[in-house]
Chains A and B, each alone.
Chain A
Amino acid sequence: MSLHKLRLAAAVPLTISTFSSRLFLKPFPNTLTLGLFSRRLQQHKPLLVRAFSASATVQDIPATQTTVSSVARPQWKASIDFKWIRDNKEAVEINIKNRNSNANLDVVLELYENMVNLQKEVERLREERNNVAKKMKGKLEPSERERLVEEGKSLKESLVSMEEDLVKLKDELQHVAQSIPNMTHPDVPVGGEDSSAIRKEVGCPREFHFQIKDHLQLGKDLDLIDFDSAAEVSGSKFFYLKNEAVLLEMALLNWTLSQVMKKGYTPLTTPEIVRSSIVEKCGFQPRGDNTQVYSIDGTDQCLIGTAEIPLGGIHMDSILLESALPLKYIAFSHCFRTEAGAAGAATKGLYRVHQFSKAEMFVICRPEDSEFFHHELIQIEEDLFTSLGLHFKTLDMATADLGAPAYRKFDIEAWMPGFGRFGEISSASNCTDYQSRRLGIRYRPSEPLQTGPKKGKANLPATKFVHTLNATACAVPRMMVCLLENNQQEDGSVVIPEPLRPFMGGIELIKPKLK
């Protein structure tokens, strides 16, 4: 085999969609997704493939012309199904293109082939060495013994060297393969954000017969939100909630919890500081340039941007019983996001903040059930928002707007009259096995019933990867934008939606305070 030159992948520019092109009359850019903030920022360092030495004694391994990589050993491995990728490479390639992903399939496949071949060589050499060892046990002429000893030594050296190469190759393969995005549901529209399809529309924009205020003005006039003090204390995009707004946040969370628990979801609170490896395994990039993730000084820990992360971590590196599935959680947490790279009008007030409260739903299920639960999750969201009287539309997000983990993603955008347009209030993703292959979450199928001859020694069925899904039940600041702006009255007061009143001590109205 001739020497093979692996293609060097050039440094690729970030594919962040900028906001400058999205002016006021268009819907909010879908990069402002709650569930998938930095997944689109698939920033790669210049990808230089590692060198591995071509062993002199082994002629038919394709050696690659390479330079030393700048990449560190991955700290964890995703269980990527390389065979499947190889066998379906056209579909995978099309998928990568449709998603505007930076993943380089050719490099992955080449590395995989090399890895497989090198693996075979290593095994062949091991076998040879074993044969030599066997021979040495018998009766031999001194010269022959010496020859075998030499051969054994030489094989051992080659093996050590090749095994090192194999490790490096596997690391490299892992590194490039991790960025291959999930496959895509066949019904997902192909294209950019303008291609997203409307699945459902509920309600219509309220007609106002007076000059309306945006939520910032309402927040000031009703003494509900303080951005100014927070700017001094913490910086921009931080805020204090005051008075009825505090009660409203608690009512939203309490009510959401009670509604979702009725559907069999287990309530949880989660850590908000996690190890950065967990963040990566969920499909986020804690250390990129424009990372959405805050890191803690002097540790390998980060702040979570969504409870999805500690939720994914609960069952990592576990084998669940099939009978335990589905696991359905509703978790509350504060979320922290740097919002690096976000600028312009799409950041006003509560719409884009560094810290907020959120209730997140998370499902772990068998592969055959994930589609069902995706529809259950979006139905729960639609019911919640309909009960609150919001006007919204549910979108089936197009391929270029899916984060790497999502097989399919439904976003809900609600009407925000103060902005004069729709803004995303929730996101529901079916991540199939993308996260579970990284987090190591498997299940063991139950034994099928056997009516034939008595079972012999039990052979446990092979484990499979679960599917994971996540969906926003309530992102408090965006809900507040909707409720304040839509429910304002001419006298400056704001009507509390009926379902929330019992959770606010019966308050029906937020009234202007006498000065």
Chain B
Amino acid sequence: MKGKLEPSERERLVEEGKSLKESLVSMEEDLVKLKDELQHVAQSIPNMTHPDVPVGGEDSSAIRKEVGCPREFHFQIKDHLQLGKDLDLIDFDSAAEVSGSKFFYLKNEAVLLEMALLNWTLSQVMKKGYTPLTTPEIVRSSIVEKCGFQPRGDNTQVYSIDGTDQCLIGTAEIPLGGIHMDSILLESALPLKYIAFSHCFRTEAGAAGAATKGLYRVHQFSKAEMFVICRPEDSEFFHHELIQIEEDLFTSLGLHFKTLDMATADLGAPAYRKFDIEAWMPGFGRFGEISSASNCTDYQSRRLGIRYRPSEPLQTGPKKGKANLPATKFVHTLNATACAVPRMMVCLLENNQQEDGSVVIPEPLRPFMGGIELIKPKLK
């Protein structure tokens, strides 16, 4: 229409322009809706799976490693709830009145034990180059979703705050994933390795039965979580580093446990591969999960928008012209439990009990508890 035109031709072109414009507006609206719809359904496509992961349900999970063996007791053992009562360490009854079921107070040496576990875990993991952090425990619900959780489902594990778009975190993985969201990191900054402490809150909706007794399943607990952000080619290496750290920690504490390579039906949507550690809990008479280490590859980073810019490769050819930055790539993220306090407490109390009702403190923890070696029954 910029050129010289006959009036009739100009009019024809104007009509054509209008018609095109209307079609465009309508189509662009459709495109937006379609993109939204696509996004909505596609978000639920789970991550791909590592080729070595066993296919099947939980019975198909493979044992990677087994450490120790169940202790032989020559007396009638107590479970952690009984020990907690007898040694005045755990109070579920008052908490049921104050807060509801699955809440508890820790008392006396149990408080020292929690602090020793967290302090010791921190010092051990820091030695491997992990940066300590504490995190917010209230986050925007969008962050929860971007990490692959469902804050608003019927059986959601997530507590929401009244009158806001905020939720309580169920794990520090969430605020950790959020730290670098919508960012482009330098390749030289990677890997980023964090160990974060937080309280975690879970509704445990839908969980019932014996697998909920005592400290095994609670609404609020302290946890130390490891989180790694790295280049794609390094995530397998760090998955093995994380599981090694966990195995070293639990071995040092004298636990009997097995490391499982979780089968496909037991991976959460974000996990490319997941190693769970289950420890022997004599009071329950079976193994219980005490940690989980997931390689989420780029599932979370594509949702959180965490990219990195690869460093410039060295060029020996002709002088570089105007610098073209290499294209950004999505990082890989991994997360792993360093210490979930209540489950560790179940293990330590039940495994380390003695006939006289006392509980032995594992050696590595004693310096962090003012040297206490034993939790003794209190005189009444």
Enumerate chain B residues within 8 angstroms of A336, measured Cβ to Cβ: 137-138
Binds B, one of A51-59, A92-100, A269-277, A462-470: A269-277
A234–B144 alpha-carbon span in the complex (Å): 11
A233 and B140 in contact (CB under 8 A), knowing A242-B131, A266-B107?
yes
Provide the A287-307 mask, 1 if CB < 8 A to any CB of B, else 0.
Answer: 000000011111001010000
- CB of B161 within 8 A of CB of A297, answer yes
Residue of B whose beta carbon sits closest to that of A503: B119
- CB of A271 within 8 A of CB of B103, answer yes
Q: How far is the CB of B305 from chain A (nearest CB, A)?
A: 11
Q: How far is the CB of B204 from chain A (nearest CB, A)?
A: 12
Provide the A309-352 mask, 1 if CB < 8 A to any CB of B, else 0.
Answer: 01001111100000000000000101010000000000000000
Enumerate chain A residues within 8 angstroms of B181, measured Cβ to Cβ: 232-233
Q: How far is the CB of A308 from chain B (nearest CB, A)?
A: 12
Cβ of B252 within 8 Å of any chain A Cβ, yes or no, is no
A332–B107 alpha-carbon span in the complex (Å): 11
- CB of B132 within 8 A of CB of A247, answer yes
Chain A 237-260 residues near chain B, CB threshold 8 A: 238-243, 246-247, 249-250, 253-254, 257-258
- CB of B162 within 8 A of CB of A267, answer no
- CB of A272 within 8 A of CB of B199, answer yes
Chain A 352-394 residues near chain B, CB threshold 8 A: 354-355, 357
A269 and B160 in contact (CB under 8 A), knowing A233-B179, A241-B133?
no
Residue of A whose beta carbon sits closest to that of B179: A229
- CB of A295 within 8 A of CB of B99, answer no
- CB of B97 within 8 A of CB of A313, answer yes
Residue of B whose beta carbon sits closest to that of A314: B94
- CB of B115 within 8 A of CB of A297, answer no
A243–B133 alpha-carbon span in the complex (Å): 7
- CB of B111 within 8 A of CB of A240, answer no
Cβ of A61 within 8 Å of any chain B Cβ, yes or no, is no
- The interface centre, meaning the residue of B95, B105, B108, B114 with most chain A CB atoms within 10 A of its CB, is B105
Cβ of A505 within 8 Å of any chain B Cβ, yes or no, is yes
Interface of B is mostly: mixed
Cβ of B178 within 8 Å of any chain A Cβ, yes or no, is yes
- CB of A296 within 8 A of CB of B175, answer no
Cβ of A230 within 8 Å of any chain B Cβ, yes or no, is yes
A314 and B136 in contact (CB under 8 A), knowing A268-B111, A295-B162?
no
Chain B 145-203 residues near chain A, CB threshold 8 A: 159-163, 166, 168, 175, 178-182, 197, 199, 201
A310–B122 alpha-carbon span in the complex (Å): 28
Cβ of A226 within 8 Å of any chain B Cβ, yes or no, is yes
Residue of B whose beta carbon sits closest to that of A228: B179
Chain B 101-131 residues near chain A, CB threshold 8 A: 103-108, 111-112, 114-115, 118-119, 122-123, 131
Enumerate chain A residues within 8 angstroms of B263, measured Cβ to Cβ: none
Q: How far is the CB of A297 from chain B (nearest CB, A)?
A: 4
Enumerate chain B residues within 8 angstroms of A258, measured Cβ to Cβ: 370
Cβ of A74 within 8 Å of any chain B Cβ, yes or no, is no
Cβ of B236 within 8 Å of any chain A Cβ, yes or no, is no
Cβ of A414 within 8 Å of any chain B Cβ, yes or no, is no
Cβ of A278 within 8 Å of any chain B Cβ, yes or no, is yes
A357–B180 alpha-carbon span in the complex (Å): 24
Chain B 40-68 residues near chain A, CB threshold 8 A: none
Enumerate chain B residues within 8 angstroms of A254, measured Cβ to Cβ: 115, 119
A234–B133 alpha-carbon span in the complex (Å): 16
A273–B203 alpha-carbon span in the complex (Å): 11
- CB of A297 within 8 A of CB of B98, answer no
- CB of A294 within 8 A of CB of B162, answer yes
Contact of B118 among A250, A268, A272 (CB under 8 A): A250
- CB of A355 within 8 A of CB of B132, answer no
Interface of A is mostly: mixed
- CB of A232 within 8 A of CB of B178, answer yes
- CB of B98 within 8 A of CB of A250, answer no
- CB of A271 within 8 A of CB of B179, answer no
A48–B219 alpha-carbon span in the complex (Å): 41
How many residues in A have their beta carbons less than 8 Å from beta carbons of B?
A: 52
- CB of B134 within 8 A of CB of A296, answer no
Residue of A whose beta carbon sits closest to that of B109: A267
- CB of B91 within 8 A of CB of A250, answer no
Residue of A whose beta carbon sits closest to that of B114: A269
A246 and B162 in contact (CB under 8 A), knowing A266-B107, A275-B98, A505-B123?
no
Enumerate chain A residues within 8 angstroms of B143, measured Cβ to Cβ: 233
Q: How far is the CB of A296 from chain B (nearest CB, A)?
A: 5
A294–B114 alpha-carbon span in the complex (Å): 26
A338–B118 alpha-carbon span in the complex (Å): 28
Cβ of A235 within 8 Å of any chain B Cβ, yes or no, is yes
Residue of A whose beta carbon sits closest to that of B174: A233
Contact of B219 among A238, A273, A354 (CB under 8 A): A273
Q: How far is the CB of B174 from chain A (nearest CB, A)?
A: 8
Enumerate chain B residues within 8 angstroms of A317, measured Cβ to Cβ: 97
- CB of B161 within 8 A of CB of A296, answer yes
Enumerate chain A residues within 8 angstroms of B131, measured Cβ to Cβ: 242-243
A240–B108 alpha-carbon span in the complex (Å): 29
Enumerate chain A residues within 8 angstroms of B352, measured Cβ to Cβ: none
- CB of A269 within 8 A of CB of B99, answer no
- CB of B159 within 8 A of CB of A271, answer no
Contact of A266 among B108, B119, B134, B160 (CB under 8 A): B108
- CB of A273 within 8 A of CB of B103, answer yes
Cβ of B100 within 8 Å of any chain A Cβ, yes or no, is yes
Cβ of B82 within 8 Å of any chain A Cβ, yes or no, is no
Cβ of B358 within 8 Å of any chain A Cβ, yes or no, is no
Enumerate chain B residues within 8 angstroms of A243, measured Cβ to Cβ: 131-132
A229–B175 alpha-carbon span in the complex (Å): 9
Residue of B whose beta carbon sits closest to that of A315: B94
A233 and B178 in contact (CB under 8 A), knowing A254-B115, A268-B111, A275-B99?
yes
Contact of A314 among B105, B114, B166, B222 (CB under 8 A): B105
- CB of B98 within 8 A of CB of A316, answer yes
Contact of B140 among A234, A269, A274 (CB under 8 A): A234
- CB of A301 within 8 A of CB of B99, answer yes
Cβ of B354 within 8 Å of any chain A Cβ, yes or no, is no
- CB of A234 within 8 A of CB of B138, answer yes
Known: A233-B179, A271-B104. 6 other contacts (CB 8 A): A233-B175, A234-B175, A238-B136, A257-B115, A355-B137, A355-B138
Q: List 14 A-B contacts (CB under 8 A).
A: A235-B138, A235-B166, A238-B136, A239-B136, A241-B134, A250-B122, A257-B112, A273-B220, A274-B99, A298-B160, A310-B105, A316-B97, A336-B138, A354-B136
